[in-house]
A and B are shown apart, each in its own frame.
Chain A
Amino acid sequence: MTYILKPQLHHPSLPTNSLGYTRRDYEGSVSTLCAGCGHDSISSAIIQACFELELPPHRVAKLSGIGCSSKTPDYFLGASHGFNTVHGRMPSVLTGANLANRELIYLGVSGDGDSASIGLGQFAHAIRRGVNMLYIVENNGVYGLTKGQFSATSDKGSKSKRGVVNHDAGIDMVSLALQMGATFVGRSFSGDKAQLVPLIKAGLAHKGAAFIDCISPCVQFNNHPGSTKSFDYVREHNEVVNRLDVITPRDPIHVDYKPGETVRVQQHDGSVLSLHKLNELYNPNSRAQALGYLQARQARGQIVTGLLFVDPEAGDLHDAVGTVDTPLNQLSEAELVPGQAALDRINASLR
Chain B
Amino acid sequence: MPESVTAGGQASGGKPRINDFVVKFANVNGSGSASANGLFARSVMRMGVPVAARNIFPSNIQGLPTWYEVRITEAGYLGRRGGVDLMVAMNPQTWDRDLAEIESGGFLLYDSTKPIPPSRFRDDITVIGVPLTAMCNEAYELPRERQLFKNTIYVGALAALLGIDLAAIESLLTDDFAGKDRLIKANVEALHMGHGYVRERLAPLPLQVRPANGVGDRIYVEGNQAAALGAVYGGATVCAWYPITPSTSLAEAFTSYCQDLRTDPETGKGRCAIIQAEDEIASIGMVVGAGWNGCRAFTATSGPGVSLMTEFIGLSYFAEIPAVIFDVQRGGPSTGMPTRTQQADLLAAAYAGHGDTKHPMLLPADPGECFEMGAQAFDLADRLQTTVFVMLDLDIGMNEWLTEPFRWDDTRRLDRGKVMTAEQLEAGADFGRYKDVDGDGIPYRTYPGTHPTKGGYFTRGTSRNPYARYSEEGAVYVDNMERLLRKFETAKALVPAPVIRPAKGKTREGVIYFGSTTPAMHEALEMLEAQGRRLNALRVRAFPFADEVFDFIAQHDRVYLIEQNRDAQLRTLVMTEGDVDPAKLVSILHYDGTPITARFIAGAIAQRMQVGQIEAAE
User: What is the interface of chain A, defined by CB distance below 8 A to chain B?
Assistant: 1-3, 56-59, 61, 63, 73-74, 78-86, 89, 91-101, 103-104, 121-122, 125, 129, 318, 321-325, 328-329, 331, 333, 335-340, 342-343, 346-347, 350-351
With A58-B456, A85-B285, A323-B269 already in contact, the answer to whether A96 and B408 are too (CB < 8 A) is no
B407 is contacted by which of A56, A101, A342, A343 (Cβ under 8 Å)? A343
B270 touches A322 (CB 8 A): yes
Bound CA–CA A125/B285 (angstroms): 13
Bound CA–CA A346/B274 (angstroms): 21
With A58-B450, A92-B286, A97-B289 already in contact, the answer to whether A84 and B460 are too (CB < 8 A) is yes
A329 touches B237 (CB 8 A): yes
Bound CA–CA A120/B278 (angstroms): 12
Q: Which residues of B contact A336 (CB under 8 A)?
A: 232, 235, 237, 262, 271, 414
Q: Hey, what's the 0/1 contact readout for B375-414 against A, CB within 8 Å counting as 1?
A: 0000000000000000000000000000001111110011
A3 is contacted by which of B284, B410, B469 (Cβ under 8 Å)? B469
B288 touches A343 (CB 8 A): no
Q: Hey, what's the 0/1 contact readout for B445-473 against A, CB within 8 Å counting as 1?
A: 01111111100111111100000011110
B461 touches A86 (CB 8 A): yes
A85 touches B461 (CB 8 A): yes
The 9 closest A-B pairs by CB, nearest first: A96-B289, A92-B285, A96-B286, A81-B448, A329-B294, A100-B293, A93-B289, A100-B295, A96-B290
Residue of B nearest to A79 (CB): B456
State whether the Cβ of B489 lies closer than 8 Å to any Cβ in chain A.
no
Q: Which residues of B contact A79 (CB under 8 A)?
A: 452-453, 456
B406 touches A99 (CB 8 A): no
Q: Which residues of A contact B414 (CB under 8 A)?
A: 333, 336-337
Bound CA–CA A351/B168 (angstroms): 12
With A321-B274, A323-B273, A328-B237 already in contact, the answer to whether A347 and B290 are too (CB < 8 A) is no
Q: Which residues of B contact A95 (CB under 8 A)?
A: 275, 282, 285-286, 289
B459 touches A83 (CB 8 A): yes
Between A100, A101, A335, A336, the greatest number of chain B beta carbons within 10 A of the residue's beta carbon is seen for A100
State whether the Cβ of B297 lies closer than 8 Å to any Cβ in chain A.
yes
A100 touches B290 (CB 8 A): yes
B289 touches A94 (CB 8 A): yes
Q: Which residues of A contact B447 (CB under 8 A)?
A: 81, 101, 329
Q: How far is the CB of A255 from chain B (nearest CB, A)?
A: 35
Q: How far is the CB of B468 from chain A (nearest CB, A)?
A: 10
A121 touches B279 (CB 8 A): yes
Q: How far is the CB of A273 from chain B (nearest CB, A)?
A: 26
With A59-B449, A99-B286, A99-B295 already in contact, the answer to whether A73 and B270 are too (CB < 8 A) is no
Sort chain B's interface into a size bin. 35 or more
User: What is the interface of chain B, defined by CB distance below 8 A to chain A?
Assistant: 217-221, 229, 232-233, 235, 237-238, 240, 261-262, 264, 267-275, 277-279, 281-295, 297, 311-312, 315, 405-410, 413-414, 446-453, 456-462, 469-472
Q: Which residues of A contact B458 (CB under 8 A)?
A: 73-74, 81-84
Residue of A nearest to B451 (CB): A58
Bound CA–CA A322/B264 (angstroms): 11
Q: How far is the CB of A162 from chain B (nearest CB, A)?
A: 29
Residue of A nearest to B416 (CB): A333
Bound CA–CA A121/B221 (angstroms): 37
Residue of B nearest to A331 (CB): B271
With A82-B459, A86-B311, A328-B237 already in contact, the answer to whether A321 and B285 are too (CB < 8 A) is no
A61 is contacted by which of B238, B311, B449 (Cβ under 8 Å)? B449
B469 touches A337 (CB 8 A): no
How many contacts A-B (CB < 8 Å)? 220
Q: Which residues of B contact A78 (CB under 8 A)?
A: 456
**Known pairs A96-B240, A97-B290, A122-B285. 20 more at Cβ < 8 A?**
A3-B470, A57-B452, A58-B451, A58-B453, A80-B448, A81-B458, A85-B288, A92-B240, A92-B281, A96-B291, A100-B289, A104-B293, A324-B270, A324-B271, A325-B267, A331-B237, A333-B235, A335-B271, A343-B405, A343-B408
Bound CA–CA A248/B469 (angstroms): 35
Q: Which residues of A contact B405 (CB under 8 A)?
A: 343, 347, 350
Q: How far is the CB of B295 from chain A (nearest CB, A)?
A: 4
A339 touches B410 (CB 8 A): yes
Q: Which residues of B contact A3 (CB under 8 A)?
A: 469-471
Q: How far is the CB of A326 from chain B (nearest CB, A)?
A: 8
A97 touches B219 (CB 8 A): no
Residue pairs across A and B with Cβ atoms less than 8 A apart, 17 shown, are A59-B449, A74-B470, A81-B458, A91-B282, A92-B283, A95-B285, A96-B289, A96-B293, A97-B289, A101-B293, A321-B273, A323-B270, A336-B232, A336-B262, A337-B414, A343-B406, A347-B406
A96 touches B297 (CB 8 A): yes
Bound CA–CA A298/B312 (angstroms): 37
B315 is contacted by which of A56, A59, A86 (Cβ under 8 Å)? A86
B285 touches A84 (CB 8 A): no
A96 touches B269 (CB 8 A): no
With A84-B461, A343-B407, A347-B219 already in contact, the answer to whether A101 and B286 are too (CB < 8 A) is no
Residue of A nearest to B239 (CB): A99
Q: How far is the CB of B412 from chain A (nearest CB, A)?
A: 8
Q: Which residues of A contact B274 (CB under 8 A)?
A: 321
Q: Which residues of B contact A81 (CB under 8 A)?
A: 446-449, 456-459
Bound CA–CA A91/B281 (angstroms): 11
Bound CA–CA A288/B526 (angstroms): 73
Bound CA–CA A335/B315 (angstroms): 31
B220 touches A351 (CB 8 A): yes
A58 touches B293 (CB 8 A): no
Residue of A nearest to B269 (CB): A324
Between A78, A81, A338, the greatest number of chain B beta carbons within 10 A of the residue's beta carbon is seen for A81
B449 touches A101 (CB 8 A): yes
